[in-house]
Amino acid sequence: MAKRNNISAEIKDILGKLTIEDLPIAGKRVFIRADFNVPLDDNMVITDDSRIRSTLPTINYAIDEGAKVIIASHLGRPKGKAEPRFSLAPVVKRLHRLLNKEVLFAPDCVGPQAENLVSRMKEGDVLLLENLRFHPEEEKNDEAFSRSLAKLADYYVNDAFGAAHRAHASTVGIAKLLPAAAGFLMKKEIEYLKGAVENPVRPFVAILGGAKVSGKIGVLENLADKVDKVIVGGGMAYTFIKAMGYEIGDSLVEPEMMDLAKNIMDKLRKSNVKFYLPVDSVIAQSLEQGAETKIVTTQEIPKGWRALDIGPASVRLFSEALQNAKTIIWNGPMGVFEIDAFSRGTFAVARVVADAYALTIVGGGDTDYAVHRAGVSDAITFISTGGGASLQLLEGKDLPGISALTDRK
């Protein structure tokens, strides 16, 4: 059966902002804020270029339209200083290969050198600016720094969804100074993440995992009256299980979140939302490779042992809960999947989600890495490029980098 690869046709212009296609960019200088915060090995070689590839449609569109394309990004946390290990120089090489054309590189993102390189650009040229975060003013959303960035361009396009929850100079400040539009990736992220929540094809199932309830509490509260089922795994599940009065051994628990966990369970029950927790767990006394493991029911985790993955019965339970789903949003792994002994639960859920005849959306960060490790990323409808940004959107919050864009009149 064919996979559902389209969002509901009823979702129309959910963004409500200008997009790059609305801008008359031919012959103009276009500042594209990208998220090239890619992983590098010790030799400064990019180990995963998916974030670069995800912005190619926006860059190629600007090139084809005859714009002068100026790209800016951050990389790592250089804390306002020019550190060579956080240089975007490796990105220039990869962009050159992916675009199959020369990419110019400015040694700074503002100032005379950058301005001089921009002044010499021809239509269709591409220039990458050095790391925005080499300047402390970037993260402070400094007005003067924003003006220095805006000086380089006629139009601004934000395609950095992964940084849209940050109110920085390159995501908010500059957008107030130039006509500001969303790139294709930004538009796609909003359509999928916001569209799925506001207008889902039902049954709608949310799978939440990861370490802490506190990190996902806003998502749970926002989705409580929107979803049909909630599946909770990972470390955060044991705060719920403890709140129900069960023994969880030395498993991760947030005591201060237990009352809130009870309230959420009550809210879900009153909304007739089916709520699933692990019924068995893979436990160990340590995270060391080769440590002894056991599979026990979640009510019988002995002292000195901690749950580090969901067990096979939980996988079957969660699989059955997903059988009839038509929309699935998944954010957060089911266990410590980076260690082989505790990866089976997460990978099994990844395969079930990938095989579902449903619109499947995976939140960024660890979940993105997990579906890649499980080898099923190509079978997921949409994988978000933003961890923190996707969580905020699922919480129903506005993202500063999107709010700052020019409204569609």
**What amino acid positions are annotated as catalytic residues?**
51, 212, 365, 388
* DSSP helix/strand/coil, 281: strand
249, HSE (Cβ side, Cα atoms, 13 Å) = 22
Q: Record the tokens describing residue 146, joined without a space.
A: 């924003």
d(Cα 239, Cα 74) in Å, to the nearest integer? 36
Could you tell me if 257 and 214 are in contact, meaning their C-beta atoms sit under 8 angstroms apart?
yes
Could you tell me if 292 and 281 are in contact, meaning their C-beta atoms sit under 8 angstroms apart?
no
d(Cα 222, Cα 204) in Å, to the nearest integer? 14
d(Cα 261, Cα 255) in Å, to the nearest integer? 10
Q: What residue has token string 């995501």?
A: 171
Give Cα separations from 310 to 10, 317, 393 (angstroms): 37, 11, 27
d(Cα 32, Cα 30) in Å, to the nearest integer? 6
State the first-to-last Cα distance of the chain, in angstroms, to the nearest integer: 41
